[in-house]
Amino acid sequence: MIKKELVALRKQIDEVDSLILELTNFRMYLALNTVKYKGKVAAKKREKEILKKFQREAKKLIHLDNNFTKKLFDIFMEHSKKIQKESLEK
């Protein structure tokens, strides 16, 4: 019985991981399209707003802390800026 439960949990984790990838890809698509309207890569004020929102929302969740949220935010921002910069250089 325990083995079945473990397999079921792992299957759910795999499904969530796939969703995370799909949503992250969609987020990057949106970030890439914003550069068409703002004309530059960096938007420090916007980044600060997003980080505050991330951290505020993370406080409502049991299994996420500010450190994890900040790392996740940094990864999103770093990759968003990278693909925006590449887009502008084309």
Domain boundaries, the chain: 2-89
- 44-47, Cβ contacts within 8 angstroms, sequence gap of 24 or more: 47/77
Name the pTM for this structure. Answer: 0.82
Is residue 14 very low, low, confident or very high in pLDDT (cuts 50, 70, 90)? very high
Instruction: Determine whether domain 2-89 maps to CATH 3.40.309.10.
Output: no
Tokens of 18: 């796939």
**Digit-coded pLDDT (tens) for 24-65:** 999 999 999 998 888 777 778 888 998 899 889 988 988 888
The structure tokens 């004020």 sit at 45
Is residue 90 very low, low, confident or very high in pLDDT (cuts 50, 70, 90)? confident
How far apart are the C-alpha atoms of 74 and 87, rounded to whole Å? 20
SS3 7: helix
